[in-house]
Amino acid sequence: MARTHAKDANYSFNSVALETELNNIVMTADVTEADATAFADTYQVPVAGKKSVAYELQGTVDPAASKAVDTIFDARLGGVKTSVYDLTGSGPGANDPEYTCTASGLTGSLVAQLRVTYAIGDAARFAATIQNSGATTRATA
């Protein structure tokens, strides 16, 4: 089985490519579970609930050239944005998915949290949580 190297991953938020400033991208796709077990049931009856997709982004801050922190900071109160996560940087393919959450009305990607850390004697870093609202599509060729 082929392996994907993360150095080729692309991530864009609000049409701004952020991958050159990122050193970690974590995509979390959750489905909450509800319990529909009746009193007389012998076994538990779990039911799939609403889906949720979020990204945890981490990177370094370059105040002279940083697009990531500025783009994410400016989008905090600006409503939903479009985000695209391409695992290999070569677009969608047969075994190469690309995940997109498109801004449309009330759906899209929202900035849930932005943390910027300036530690004394260390590199300036940022971490952001991007929460998708609405559908996140998985494109393949």
Structural domains of the chain, count: 1
Q: What is the reported pLDDT for 2?
A: 57
Inside any domain, residue 37: no
Residue 88 confidence class, pLDDT cut points 50, 70, 90: confident
* pTM score of the predicted model: 0.81
- Per the model's pLDDT, the better-predicted residue between 35 and 105 turns out to be 35
Can you tell me the mean pLDDT for 96-116?
A: 88
Dihedrals φ, ψ of 69, to 5°?
A: -65, -45
Locate tokens 């009305």: which residue?
105
Inside any domain, residue 38: no
Inside any domain, residue 7: no
pLDDT at 1 over 70: no
Which residues neighbour 31 within 8 Å (Cβ) at sequence distance 6 or greater?
Answer: 48, 49, 50, 51, 52
- Residue 69 sits in which domain range? 21-31+47-139
Per residue in 14-24, is it b (16+ CB within 10 Å) or e — as a string?
beeebbebbee
